[in-house]
Amino acid sequence: MPRRCARWCCSAHGSCVVIPAPSFDAGATLAAITAERCTEMHLDEVTISYGMTETSPVSTHTRVDASLERRTSTVGTPQPHVEIKVVDPETGLTVPRGVTGELCSRGYLVMHGYWEQPDKTAEAIDEAGWMHTGDLATMEDEDYLNVVGRLKDMVIRGGENVYPREIEEFLYSHPDIADVQVVGVPDARYGEELCAWIRMREGRPPLDAAALREFCTGKLAHYKIPRYVYLADEFPMTVTGKIRKVAMREESVRALGLTGVGPTA
């Protein structure tokens, strides 16, 4: 559950709350659990919710009686009285199951609109009342949903839609990579190419583009293999701890000398 909800529950029951850091930090959290001897309060029915502030905020939820795989690898099924569809971002038509598209939700939970911003409201909610989330997702059997990325982060390389999250998850399997983010940069031939921002594990030698391509070849489709590598000690972040991919794209264009080559995603 969100941290604020957890704090409310603990306050209501007189439980102790340990806050390891101002924002989530995996190392600090594990250290605090060990040092303070925190329990998981016997929570053997943990579930996952998906939604956004504009949808009040939960649209889908995993069931406690679902399989472990579905409880951990999906964001569940639509809530009662909530409609969900996955559409082609360009045509607005519903895509077949298993095909990636933009996740849209409709029902009592959708907000009336942004305060005094009718233009922004019209961009988010269409005439039929569907809230366009901007999230890319697939709908599987029995209406289980899997979020695969953000629409604004999608890269179009030579007519192929490339989803950075898929590439990032694969690159995390490299033993020398501590963290990675993939962004699109302009390219005169393909429209866009991929640039991998990489933070190396401490004490490991830096990776270059050739070494990364060698690691990916035969495991990723050729158009999903990053052309560029940008080594960084840290990634641009918002005050709430979210990755700023727009800033990454801008810095990549500057560092790679691609200004004026073409549009970015």
Quote the DSSP letter at residue 94.
Answer: B
pLDDT higher than threshold 70 for residue 156: yes
- Output the six-digit token pair for 78: 């639509």
CATH number of the domain to which 214 belongs? 3.30.300.30
Residues 29 and 58 in one domain: no
Residues 64 and 90 in one domain: yes
Residues 164 and 249 in one domain: yes
pLDDT, tens digit, for every residue of 113-144? 999 999 999 999 999 999 999 999 999 999 99
Q: Which of 133, 155, 164 is CA-nearest to residue 243?
A: 164
> Percentage of the chain surpassing pLDDT 70?
95
Residues 74 and 119 in one domain: yes
Q: Is residue 57 part of a domain?
A: yes
- What's the pTM? 0.79
The CA distance from 159 to 133, in Å, is 24
- Output the six-digit token pair for 138: 């697939």
pLDDT higher than threshold 70 for residue 1: no
Beta bridge partners of 136: 102, 149
pLDDT higher than threshold 80 for residue 10: no
Which residues, 6+ apart, have CB-to-CB distance to 171 below 8 Å?
Answer: 177, 180, 182, 196, 198, 212, 216
pLDDT higher than threshold 80 for residue 6: no
pLDDT, tens digit, for every residue of 69-80? 999 999 999 999
Q: Is residue 265 part of a domain?
A: no
DSSP element (H, E) containing 54: none
Quote the DSSP letter at residue 67.
Answer: -
Q: Is residue 95 part of a domain?
A: yes
The residue ranking higher by pLDDT, 16 or 105, is 105
Domain range holding 119?
A: 49-152
DSSP secondary structure string for all residues of 2-47: -HHHHHHHHHHHT------SSS--HHHHHHHHHHHT---TT-----
